[in-house]
Amino acid sequence: MTDQTSRASTRSRAQPSTQGPPGLGTVLQRNIAMLNDRRKAEEEQASFEDRLALTITRFTGSIMFVYIHLAFFAFWIVANLGWIPGVPVWDASFVVLAMWASVEAIFLSTFVLISQNRNQATADKRADLDLQISLLVEHEITKLTTLAASIADHLGVRTEAEEELEEIKQDVAPEVVLDEIESTRPAS
């Protein structure tokens, strides 16, 4: 794909049609499309191992997986109790079944952990983005408050909350807030 084609494709995704559900503005439509595109791109960039772990985890977390296991274990138990005529008993003490279940549990828990690690990495990225946006919004609100206060002073308008206004006009230092939160947390 050429650079121009890529940019045109990005522009067409970034500007969805104005036809959408009522009450859903074009900015929201654009953001939803961008998030969906981002998720697809992240899924495509995932390694084969991550995709395999996710596929296995999705299947093992389904009701179909439960049904298959119910049928398999029921057949194994009933057959090895000798209740099915013509089917020889091959695991009378159920040791093989127990070993099979144990090995399966080890692998399934590993796949779940791999998927959780990937999901946690994604959640960490989103949390970082949320924090950056919150810090930007806080900074912008501080600047708007300062501008509104300057306009009020220029017009000679007084507010009842002059003390609070002076505090609000100060930028927040996020590292100081984090230090304070950590210092007030009880030790675990």
- pLDDT tens-place values along the chain, 188 residues long: 444 444 444 444 444 455 667 777 898 899 899 999 998 998 899 999 999 999 999 999 999 999 999 999 999 999 999 999 999 999 999 999 999 999 999 999 999 999 999 999 999 999 999 999 999 999 999 999 889 888 888 888 877 777 787 788 888 888 888 888 889 988 76
Tell me if residue 64 falls in helix, strand or coil.
helix
CB atoms within 10 A of CB 53: 21
Q: Quote the radius of gyration of the chain (alpha carbons, Å).
A: 29
Residue 47 DSSP one-character state: -
